[in-house]
Amino acid sequence: MIYSRYNFLWRSEQFGYMIYNSLTNCFAQIEKDIFEMLSNVKLGKEINLESIDEETLDIMNSSKIFVESDDDELLSLKFKKYSHRFNQRFLSLTIAPTLDCNFKCSYCFEDPGKKNYMSLATENKLIDFIKKFNNLDFLHVSWYGGEPLMAEKTIQRLTKSLINFGLNYSASITTNGYLLNKKFINQLESLRINDIQVTIDGPEEIHNARRPHKNRGGSFNTIIDNLHNLSVYKKDKRIAIKVRVNIDTTNEQCYADIYNYIKNIDKSIYVYPGFVQEVTTCQSNSSCNFDRFRKASFKISNFKERSILDEYFYPRLSGSECMARHINSFLIGPEGEVYKCWSDVGQQERVIGSITDDSITNFTLMTRYILGADPFDNKDCKDCFFLPICGGGCPYFALKNHYEDGQYDICYIAKDCLQEFLELHYEKKMKAGDNLNLIASANKSVV
Amino acid sequence: MNKKKKVMIIEKGTTSLSRLSNGQLSKVFGALLPCNEFGTCELIFRGSCNDFTGDCGLYIPPKEVEVTSC
């Protein structure tokens, strides 16, 4: 039995002795004598099992604070990830029924010249394509674009056919929200859409400057009206509404304003920052991007200074794989072209194949996405405490780094401030009234 | 008198790895699909983009993760 390298042990100035394990995502407060014992074990002293009471030892084992071998734990992690990566019982399709869009956003990475819509023939080819997958239990569709609601009829027709496969079916949609009107909202149930993402970039003036309608100018009020209607509709339904606020250096100060504005519409709407990243010319360390440290401090400031109390700090294990890595996940464009990643949409050189003639045209890119730049082949990642959390980071940028000399930082944002994040999480739980003060009070005298 | 706890769990974390090693063979090969509170499989999300490390526009609300498996 050894002390796991996935342990993070520290003495908090405020809260006493703590331990966190990134493999199990377990977080505990411990007594001083346990802290001292663990500190010694960490330094190489043998674990004296007889000195540990049974309950404590059980926790140490189940939380993987003590393990037989870290290498075996890494193998378990790899096994879990690969099980997801090569899972063929699940088909996940992102369908862009059009690349046309009714907005002209200042930072959009898609080509505004593309206005093609999926034809009936391509819709039929898509159904034929799905029929070729055997032994499926689950089918999920993410409607994407362009603006998918500009191709509402395609969504309706395809959904009808997709439901007829008789699989466990669910759908989500990423939309700018402008056409998310009452008429479409009333179809959500029949379209099986239970997850909706809308983007709003700030209060009215800022949003309208960044995300104007192509012909009608400001889009803010229409989207807000639609969110009100959606909120009323979802009252008795299991449906997730997420509002992404694209953040860069020019609008970060208004995040709290729009956050509070939307929360006043409906507290259950998830509002979160999406950091705008230039994917063509800029690197992570360029001035146009938020680097990891700035993202972390943005979250901390939201909580401490901007009173966004539900800002979340607790690490989340990377349980599954990104669609880019998953063997049965594809993005289908309006011409039937196939991509592995959303960031590739509309770029001919990033197309991996076509459903219209069932061809793979870029086998290299496909295998790179699935197997290339693999964190389990990278010594730094394999040795990293954070691998269970980040899972190796975004594959799109991992490929950029590995094959194109990119310098993108794809590490977990709290890599350099884990202690602060964990203590903020603890503080939030304390404030929320969780019964966590048992040892905290006991430890007050020692800190 | 109650015995004083030496360790107090703040977050118990996941047990999925333990479950894998506890012999649920049918769950191991291809069947382990984490799903969220909305019944949507987590696989659809770009799971590697936790906490906005990537360019992805998707987001898994914190409470949804590691709820159960399908």
Tell me the DSSP string of A53-65: -HHHHHHHHHTTS
pLDDT at A434: 60
pLDDT attached to residue A442: 43
Q: Provide the residue ranges of all domains of chain A, joining segments of one domain with +.
A: 2-68+434-446, 82-118+127-304
Give the per-residue pLDDT at A369: 96
- H helices of A282-417, where? 292-304, 363-371, 379-382, 387-390, 395-404
> 3-class SS at B59?
coil
Tokens matching residue A109? 């990475």
- The answer regarding whether domain A82-118+127-304 maps to CATH 3.40.50.2300 reads no
What pLDDT, on a 0 to 100 scale, did the predictor assign at position A81?
84
Residue A18: phi, psi to the nearest 5? -135, 155
H/E stretch holding A264 reads: helix A255-265
Sorted by where each begins, the domain ranges of chain B are: 31-69
Give the bridge partners for A20, in sequence order: A8, A27
Q: Which of residues 3-62 of B touch A (CB under 8 A)?
A: 4-18, 20-21, 28-34, 37-62
Give the rounded percent of residues in chain A with a pLDDT score beyond 70. Answer: 92
Report residues of chain A scoring pLDDT below 50: 281-285, 438-447
Q: Which of A387, A392, A395 is nearest to A369 (CA)?
A: A395
Predicted pLDDT of residue A373 = 96
pLDDT tens profile A179-216: 999 999 999 999 999 889 999 999 999 999 989 998 88
pLDDT at res. A138? 84
Q: What torsion do the CA atoms of A328, A331, A337, A338 make, to the nearest 10 degrees? A: -40
Q: What is the pLDDT of residue B60?
A: 53
Pairwise CB contact (< 8 Å): B57 & A31:
no
pLDDT on residue B44: 45
**Look-up of token digits 């003590």:** A66
pLDDT of residue A52: 86
Distances (CA, A) of B21 to A2, A62, A77, A100, B48: 19, 12, 11, 48, 24
**A with B: how many residue pairs have Cβ under 8 Å apart?**
227
Length of chain B: 70
pLDDT, residue A431, reads 83
User: What does DSSP assign to residue A336?
Assistant: S
Inter-chain residue contact B8 with A436, CB threshold 8 Å: yes
- Taking the Cβ of residue B68 and every Cβ of chain A, the question of whether any pair is shorter than 8 Å is answered with no
**pLDDT for the residue numbered A382:** 95
- Contact yes or no for A122/A355 (Cβ under 8 A): yes
For position B26, what pLDDT does the model report? 46
Compute the distance between CA of residue A430 and CA of residue A445 in angstroms, rounded to an integer: 19
Encoded tokens for A66? 């003590």
CA distances from A419 to A21, A304, A312, A425 (A): 12, 16, 14, 10
Please name the member of A73, A76, A295 whose beta carbon is closest to the beta carbon of B52.
Answer: A295
Considering only CB atoms, A238 lies closest to which of B39, B43, B57, namely B39
* pLDDT of the residue at A348: 93
- Considering only CB atoms, which chain B residues are within 8 Å of A291? none
**Cross-chain residue pair A89–B8, CB shorter than 8 Å:** no
Measured between beta carbons, the chain A residues lying within 8 angstroms of B4 are 31, 442
ipTM of the complex: 0.82
A272-302: per-residue pLDDT in tens? 888 876 655 444 445 556 788 888 999 999 9
Q: What angle do CA A381, A413, A43 make, to 5 degrees?
A: 55
A56: which residues sit within 8 A by CB, 6+ positions away?
Answer: A34, B6, B7
Asked whether A240 and A195 are in contact (CB, 8 A), the reply is yes
pTM of the complete model beyond 0.90: no
Q: Is-contact A334 A117, C-beta < 8 A? A: yes
Pick out chain B residues at pLDDT < 70. Answer: 1-4, 14-70
pLDDT score for A307 = 86
